[in-house]
Amino acid sequence: MSHAGRNYLVTAAAGGIGGELVMLLLEGGAGVLACDISGKRLAALEERAGARRDKLSVLKVDVADEKGADLAGQTAIERLGMVHGLANIAGGIAGIGEDIIDRPIERITTDEYQQTVRLNLDSAFFMTRALVPHFRGKHYGKVVNVASLAAFGNFDHMGNAGYDAAKAAVVGLTHTLSRSLGPDGIRVNVVAPGSVYTEKVKQAFSPEFIELQRRRIPLREHVGPLDVAKALAFFLSPDSDAVSGEVIRASGGLR
């Protein structure tokens, strides 16, 4: 799909999914502001961009912070001009590992819960709010959020009470904004992966746990960062201009 002449802001842009999405967008001809909390990872992303480096701008920022999100939105407008879309990828579980997955609610600390909500819901809320005035002024904008199958509460081994609730809130936010912002020409959708096998996840979980996850996927294949990035790229592209308020489960058939 072509993204030529379009500009996007991507959060968690130097991570597994974010990095794949940034490369897809650059290869499609787009300009990208890549936001990430890690300057080291952003430097690696710039190197990966290679000959397309001139279309990539980076910003080290915490978008789960209200002021950080506002800065990211303002920077995107200043550097890119018109911003056509926003990919809210920032999220996850702090300290992810097998001891976190399915942790009983009484063992989830207040700090863990609040940090999980901050990473997943606050980041999407603050970033979207920061760019809505710009989108509204152009009567056009694409927002794509990242949830998880954990949002639907159908499986063990996906998250825990704090993470599942935060991702369910991201789905709810998507549906609400698709209705309220639709008259302003703003489309809001969400991608809900199952377990995504980034390098970080491979390091955090045992081979036995990873194989258990693979066997319950109908396609019997792990979903990788690029698979999720392709779904995100579709929602950002003009090919999906007639779509809003929808969920794509990038999960190999797991529902």
The full DSSP string for 101-149 is: TT--GGGS-HHHHHHHHIIIIIHHHHHHHHHHHHHHHHT-EEEEEE--G
User: Which residues 6+ apart lie within 8 Å of 166 measured at CB?
Assistant: 91, 116, 117, 119, 120, 121
Looking at residue 252, the DSSP 8-state letter turns out to be T
Within a domain: residue 226?
Answer: yes
Within a domain: residue 75?
Answer: yes
The tally of domains found in the chain comes to 1
Within a domain: residue 35?
Answer: yes
Q: Which residue do the tokens 């390098």 mark? A: 199
Domain with 81 in it: 7-248
Q: Please, which residues bridge with residue 191 across strands?
A: 146, 248
Within a domain: residue 255?
Answer: no
133-149 burial, b at 16+ Cβ within 10 Å, e below that, comes to ebbeeeebbbbbbbbbb
pTM for this predicted structure: 0.94
Within a domain: residue 2?
Answer: no
User: Which residues 6+ apart lie within 8 Å of 109 measured at CB?
Assistant: none
Within a domain: residue 1?
Answer: no
Within a domain: residue 254?
Answer: no
* Domain CATH code at residue 152: 3.40.50.720
Q: Which residue do the tokens 């802001």 mark? A: 9
Mean pLDDT of the chain: 93
Within a domain: residue 223?
Answer: yes
Of 135, 166, 141, nearest to 151 (Cα)?
Answer: 166
Q: For 106-150, what is each residue's pLDDT tens digit? A: 999 999 999 999 999 999 999 999 999 999 999 999 999 999 998
Residue 99 has pLDDT above 70, yes or no: no
Section 69-87 average pLDDT: 98
Residue 218 has pLDDT above 90, yes or no: no
